[in-house]
Amino acid sequence: MKLNIAVLPGDGIGPEIVEQAMKAVKAICDKFGHELSYEQALVGACAIDEVGNPYPDNTHELCMKSDAVLFGAIGSPKYDNNPSAKVRPEQGLLAMRKKLGLYANIRPVTTFPSLLHKSPLRSDLVDGADFMCIRELTGGMYFGRPQGRSEDGDTAYDTCVYTREEIERIVRLAYEYAGKRKKKVTIVDKANVLATSRLWRQVSQEIEKDYPEIETEYMFVDNAAMRIIQWPKSFDVMVTENMFGDILTDEASVITGSLGMLPSASVGIHTSVFEPIHGSYPQAAGKNIANPLATILSAALMFEYAFNLMEEGTLIREAVAASMDEKIVTEDISGEGKAYKTSEVGDWVASYITKK
């Protein structure tokens, strides 16, 4: 098969971790006889520095003509500490989501036995937790207008907007995934307070009828935040709006013991984007210490979701599991053992794939 990939390393540790994921991608392509072609482009703070736009047009064009996008991370302290900056790296990410029509962000939450002791939760609560958060990604408060300030600058407003169509497509997607998993959907909203949430619930109640074999559960977002730490094993597929999803997916990711291990996929109308869920970790940039496994696992999702190449995805996952069993891991999860460098972990995973 011919694989055309856009590679967007972004900021901070992005370039280092994406480099490791590409080693795994190349090893897989060699092994399975796929023809790989890829091109890199700028996104985020580095794109602002070079061309004044966090999601330049040529980056968008490259994404549009590619079959998948492998993405590192964006963000820079230079902008985080300056609330009045006119252009921000995050705008690049939002523009990419909107222009590629990436309405669904899929974050699988799975645990790794060797990391359970690092979870902030008791092992018995989190051992075996396996669920999927599906976050709506192109609507809600992130994109609703009007957004801004009053003339005197002392009042600010954001607007949360959802249409039936936006809700329907993501809720159906959640049911499709649940059908392939444990057959349960949890719809998270704040229907006791918000009009948008009441529309979510109304539309979901209509859609629910089309999936009688799947159990549906409705949950207010505050309760969901509590249940994620109280009983994470009760979830299978959780679906929610953009802002709630942003918050809940950070919470959900951390219960597994390492933010450095979780991949994500953003899918929708045009090319899908695969990225680790962690940020650009600027303190570690260029030090060759960041954990590349979440990005390598994002490459596994890319093979599976973008190319429907299941065996390839499975082998990457197996290589990652093996690196953890053999304790070839970076400092964030090495504990008492030796801390390997980012590039050493990447090389090890790639050579595992080659030798397999």
Active site residue 250: yes
* CB within 8 Å of 66: residues ≥ 6 apart: 4, 5, 6, 39, 271
Integer-rounded Cα radius of gyration of the chain? 20
Q: Which of residues 264-303 bind ligand IPM (CB under 6 A)?
A: none
Of 23, 79, 190, 340, catalytic: 190
Specify burial of residue 31 (Cβ count, 10 A radius: 0-12, 13-18, 19+): middle
Q: Pick from ligand IPM, Mg ion, none: which does 318 bind, CB < 5 to 8 A by kind?
A: none
Q: Report the nearest approach of ligand IPM to the CB of residue 75 (Å).
A: 6
Query: Which three-class secondary structure string do you get for 157-217?
Result: ECCCCCCHHHHHHHHHHHHHHHHCCCCEEEEEECCCCCHHHHHHHHHHHHHHCCCCCCEEE
CA distance 294 to 72: 10
CA distance 290 to 345: 10
Q: Pick from Mg ion, ligand IPM, none: which does 90 bind, CB < 5 to 8 A by kind?
A: ligand IPM
Nearest residue (CB) to Mg ion, 22 versus 170: 170
CA torsion sign for 120, 124, 128, 129 is: negative
Nearest residue (CB) to ligand IPM, 93 versus 328: 93
Q: Report the nearest approach of ligand IPM to the CB of residue 76 (Å).
A: 11
Active site residue 190: yes
Q: Report the nearest approach of ligand IPM to the CB of residue 211 (Å).
A: 28
Does residue number 246 form part of the binding site for ligand IPM (CB under 6 A)?
A: yes
Q: Which two tokens stand for residue 323?
A: 């690196």
Residue with tokens 């480099």: 19
DSSP conformational letter for 109: E
Q: Report the nearest approach of ligand IPM to the CB of residue 102 (Å).
A: 11
Q: Which two tokens stand for residue 235?
A: 């979830």
CA distance 275 to 284: 18
Is residue 125 within 8 A of residue 232, CB to CB? The reply is yes
Please give the biggest Cα pair distance in the chain: 66
Does residue number 158 form part of the binding site for ligand IPM (CB under 6 A)?
A: no
Of 30, 57, 222, 325, catalytic: 222
Is residue 135 within 8 A of residue 240, CB to CB? The reply is yes
Give the distance, in angstroms, between the CA of residue 273 and the centroid of all CA atoms in the same chain.
Answer: 9
Q: Report the nearest approach of ligand IPM to the CB of residue 268 (Å).
A: 14
Does residue number 80 form part of the binding site for ligand IPM (CB under 6 A)?
A: no
Residue with tokens 């939450």: 109
Q: Pick one of 19, 49, 90, 217: the residue that binds ligand IPM (CB under 6 A).
A: 90
Q: Pick one of 93, 126, 248, 328: the residue that binds ligand IPM (CB under 6 A).
A: 93
Helices (H) and strands (E) in the chain, counts: 15, 12
Does residue number 251 form part of the binding site for Mg ion (CB under 5 A)?
A: no
Q: Pick from Mg ion, ligand IPM, none: which does 93 bind, CB < 5 to 8 A by kind?
A: ligand IPM
Q: Report the nearest approach of ligand IPM to the CB of residue 222 (Å).
A: 19
Q: Pick from ligand IPM, Mg ion, none: which does 214 bind, CB < 5 to 8 A by kind?
A: none
Of 49, 130, 250, 347, catalytic: 250
Active site residue 246: yes
Does residue number 246 form part of the binding site for Mg ion (CB under 5 A)?
A: yes
Nearest residue (CB) to ligand IPM, 262 versus 328: 262
Nearest residue (CB) to ligand IPM, 71 versus 112: 71
Residues belonging to the active site: 142, 190, 222, 246, 250
Contacting residues toward Mg ion, per CB under 5 A: 246
Contacting residues toward ligand IPM, per CB under 6 A: 90, 93, 246
